Chain A
Amino acid sequence: MNEPYQSDVVFLVGFAFAVVLLPLVALLVFRWVRPTHPGALKAQSYESGMPQASAPRRPFHMAYYTFALIFIVFDVEALLLFAIAPVLRDLGWSALAEVGGFVLLVAGGLFYAWRKGVLVWR
């Protein structure tokens, strides 16, 4: 725990390397075992046995965008809270008031989005 965090990063790089490498090796090795018989019918996208009715690369529901926007607000909020949460007890009431104000501000944003009807999936 007293080690510098750099060694943690080095550890994670080694770890991630192994985790990425293993499935790739498995894919390569079993290439010699598994059959490969591509065909025009097999290469069609699945649509319950019918030819594909419409191309999937098309505009999609606007609501995904608004939800993603609110998500970013709250995700950043949560991340900032993680920075202060472990030391909140030592910092005392004044810190709690400040953090409470911050949470209230963001909650106000949620209330606004709610009133504007953004949270309804139409």
Chain B
Amino acid sequence: MSTVLTLGEGFGLGVVAFTLVGAITTVFVLLERRVSARIQMRVGPTRTGPHGLLQTIADIVKLLVKEDVRPEYADPVAFRLGPMLTAVPAVLSFVVIPFGAPLVMRALNVGIVYFLAVPGMTVVGLLLAGWASYDNYSFLGGLRSSAQFISYEIPRTLAVVTVVMLAGSLNTVDLLDAQKPVPYIVLLPVSFVIYMATTLAEVNRIPFDIPEAESELVAGYHTEYSGFRWSLFFLAEYGALYAAAAFATLLFLGGGNGPVLPAVVWFVGKSLVVVFVFMWVRWTLPRFRADQLMRLAWKVFLPASLVNLVLAAFVMMAVGS
């Protein structure tokens, strides 16, 4: 009986999460276009609706009724699987995000490992989409994406390990209580910097957007996709962007902790600031070359995160005991 209820609860919240990601994508695409326009002294979309607010809604309708084109030699099964495998993990990662102390879809005991592991599956989708398309640009884009993704995943994971070490729990809700006195950005500034920089790479944003480098690879792994299947990639990108920002808020900025206002307001506010920083960086910096990108991951971020981990452990033991 309770099993059926839990299953239904999961299904219901799954629908909620998918809708949420859809809404987030809608808002963020508009936000990104307006922010980028301001940074580059343009105006961005202003025609559709007041201040261009309906622009993305119009885009969504357009994408839904657009033809679904598939290249002749593309692998039919893998071509369909690719976008799904990219979008689904991005939505799945929302399960463990605590928007307020009680407002979490499911406080899994291994929430933090879950959050790192599940979006990690995205890489399979990217690789599959790139390979299935039977297109040179897609193929190279898919390969480079997966190489970048796995390279930056390690320093990012090691940065998160330091937080887990201090908090003494893998449950995302416990992290909020652990940060009640002081947010971890104060105690672990190096971990925060590593997390933010590697996260930019994980969500494929400039300066780490080699997978989509328009001037080199047309559109990377999603060159051959159109219509709704293409929009699934977009959903994944912006869903993952918000999830990563929310996780930065949770791990280092004290989540929903804050005076006066309710936790939800604090959490969403902080995470939106992080999202804005990501957008700011994207429209300010140039792009790394593919080889520079790999060198940075393995020769700078990885050693730095290892040293940071050992130092953090030593200091914690020395202070703690």
Q: What is A's interface to B at a CB cutoff of 8 Å?
A: 1, 5, 7-8, 10-20, 22-23, 26-27, 30, 33-38, 40, 42-48, 52-57, 60-61, 63-64, 67-68, 70-71, 74-75, 78-79, 81-82, 85-90, 92-93, 96, 99-100, 103, 107, 110, 114, 119-121
Contacts and interface: CB of A to CB of B under 8 A. Distances in A.
A11 B158 contact: no
Interface in B11-25: 11-15, 17-18
B67 A37 contact: yes
A57 B151 CA distance: 24
Q: Which of A38, A45, A89 has the most CB of B within 10 A?
A: A45
Interface in B135-185: 135-139, 143, 146-147, 150-151, 153-154, 157-158, 161, 164-165, 167-171
Interface stretch (B102-110, B200-208, B250-258): B102-110
Contacts of A34: 64-68, 227-228
* Interface of A, helix, strand, loop or mixed by DSSP: helix
A85 B64 contact: no
B7 interface: yes
A78 B218 contact: no
Contacts of A103: 306, 309-310
B295 A15 contact: no
A45 B79 CA distance: 13
Please classify the interface of chain B as helix (H, G, I), strand (E, B), loop, or mixed, using the class held by over half of its residues: helix
Give the contact-size bracket for chain B: 35 or more
Interface of B: 2-3, 6-15, 17-18, 64-74, 84, 87-88, 91-92, 95, 105-109, 112-113, 133-139, 143, 146-147, 150-151, 153-154, 157-158, 161, 164-165, 167-171, 218, 223-224, 227-229, 232, 290-291, 294-295, 298-299, 302-303, 306, 309-310, 313-314, 316-317, 320-321
Nearest to A60: B143
